A and B are shown apart, each in its own frame.
Chain A
Amino acid sequence: MFILNAPVEKSIELENKIYLLQVRCPEITSDVRPGQFLNVRVSESMYPLLRRPFSVCDVDDEHLYLMFNILGEGTKILARKHKDETIDIIGPLGNGFNLEGEFDTAVIVAGGLGAAPFPFFTRMIKDHKKILTFIGGRSHKDIITYGMQNISIATEDGSLGLKGNVIHLLQQNLEQLKSNRIKIFSCGPTGMLRALKDFTIKNNFDCEVSTECAMACGFGICQGCPIESTEHPDKYHLVCKDGPVFNVKDVLL
């Protein structure tokens, strides 16, 4: 785990209000795994006060890439960063996806900005496993395909791909999924993860999900990020330290 000032090298707008930030951070690139995240201080001032968590979207030898959309003040400031400004990063944090195991096809299920961790994931796994990617969003404007392969799309308004949600899309491809030894990896809104949990349990698919929660510290000292555990109902897991990636069976969504 590092705490350091990383220089911004580039910030590009991928889509309307969706940004990709490139920062130089060789200390972390050699250490980080897909599904892990960084806790970023967007400004030195007292406002916004807390760090903001972001998945590691991709890495190359020297750089980390973050993908984010503008939601509030923190992401607005981050989007305005330009070359040679620095951002203060704590990372790599949390547990990433488990890429080992008895599957030959990695099935990615992403909802909206839940796409963020998967370019890195795809890069790490594409030489060893087959990849099927299913992306869902409200409309075509919410679909981010950056850095991904073998993509099928669903939109709720029907403006791109199947009209419906990403679970409908999986249902439609059920035969293909069942004919492979698959493992599902997902990130997206909690409602989607909940529906995915039902789907994977019904069809007996192994599935890991990346969860989200408001965070203060990001590394286990504030207890601010509980998630209900199925195995230990008497205590919570912490999203930042025990997650953010969990086997879907281990958490109540």
Chain B
Amino acid sequence: MSKVDLSVQVGPLKFRNPIMLASGTVGYGNEIAEFTDLNKIGGIVTKSLSLKPRKGNPPQRIVETPSGMLNAIGLANVGVEQFLKEKIPFLKKYDVPLICNIAASTVEEYVECTRILTQEDSITAFEINVSCPNVKEGGLQFGNDVAAVAKITEKVKSVSTKPIIIKLSPNVSYISGFAKAVKESGGDAVSAINTLVGTSFNIFTKKPKIHNVNGGLSGPAIKPVALAKVLEIRKEVDIPIIGIGGIMDWKDVIEFMIVGASAIQLGTLNFINPSAAGQILTELENYCNNFGITKLSDVTGSYII
């Protein structure tokens, strides 16, 4: 069997393969490392970090929906300082690109987090979360405002030489307008998509099932939306795209690449099958061999309409 080249390029970033693990679905790597060899995957994106630790929302934080789930974790995280002290040493043991996801309530806080973290050599790039639907301040307010996204991109870019990826919200009419703002403000790539706003009620008590009332919808239920958003960006803006949303197997990875993703992230799947990343890599290799594809990245943007 011939050797397939699985490596991909996302702007200035080169990955050995397109499979990354999505923010909020792998913690800080230690638990998932029991199931997936982090030395084999393309990259790992940490849980959103904020300047100070965040306790997150009260329970109930998650509920299952048809072929998906709603979560309102509320960006529970250890904060930048503790991350550098307690979490980085574990991640450093692995040969895997580390992408730090940052969330904040103000533009200044995004900048401050990036400024602190950028000094840590083992961090490869930043993914800026402007799109979390589960926090009161910041979150979607930024993700819904093109000018705010442009400003955050520009300011964060000015304090770091590392690549900046902006993670976009699907809860907007035209996501390509946001991708364009990222590109024009110097952003290196976009991740699409974060979760969709959703809710779920108990029909007997008439109360919301999630304490926060709304949650972020993820899982296979959102895949068609995510594919459409990636395709829209690909058609309108020349910027590298990391595809996210409901990826459950190798076929979904290929589908995301066809509509324009250079790499992808696995999210909810990690909860259901924490060994999935490794299995998908083997299957991608088989697919390439079976279809005579020598370079997987050739699939990106190969759609025929």
Binding site for B on A (CB under 8 A): 1, 3, 41, 46-51, 90, 213-217, 219-228, 234-236, 241
B53 touches A49 (CB 8 A): no
* Secondary structure call for the A interface: loop
B67: which of A49, A216, A217 is its contact (CB, 8 Å)? A49
In the complex, chain B residues whose CB is within 8 Å of the CB of A214: 59-63
Is B55 among interface residues, defined by CB-CB distance under 8 A?
Answer: yes
- A223 and B56 in contact, given A48-B64, A217-B274 (Cβ under 8 angstroms): yes
Asked whether, in the complex, the Cβ of B272 is within 8 Å of the Cβ of A50, the reply is yes
Residues of the A chain whose Cβ atoms lie less than 8 Å from the Cβ of B63: 214
Q: Which residues of A contact B219 (CB under 8 A)?
A: 46, 49
**Dominant secondary structure at the B interface:** loop
Segment at the interface with A among B9-17, B26-34, B226-234, B290-298: B26-34
Is B299 engaged at the interface, CB distance under 8 Å to the other chain? no
Cross-interface CB contact of A47 among B26, B31, B56, B66, cutoff 8 Å: B66
Residues 10-47 of chain B, each 1 if its beta carbon lies under 8 Å from chain A, else 0: 00000000000000111100011011000000000001
Q: Cα distance A222–B67 when bound, in Å? A: 17
Does the CB pair A219–B31 fall under 8 Å? yes
* A3 x B271 contact (CB < 8 A): no
Evaluate whether A234 and B76 lie within 8 angstroms (CB atoms) in the complex, with A221-B31, A226-B61 already known.
Answer: no
Q: Which residues of A contact B220 (CB under 8 A)?
A: 46, 49
With A46-B248, A50-B64, A214-B59 as given contacts, are A222 and B25 in contact (CB-CB < 8 Å)?
yes
Question: Least Cβ distance of A81 to chain B in Å?
Answer: 18
Complex Cα–Cα for A51 and B62 (A): 13
Sorted nearest first, the 9 A-B pairs with minimum C-beta distance are A224-B62, A217-B271, A221-B27, A46-B67, A216-B271, A220-B31, A223-B73, A46-B220, A223-B76
| Docked complex Cα distance between A219 and B60 (Å) | 17
In the bound complex, residues from chain A placing their C-beta under 8 Å from that of B76 are 223, 226, 235-236
| Chain B: minimal CB distance from A211 (Å) | 11
State A215–B273 Cα separation when bound (angstroms). 14
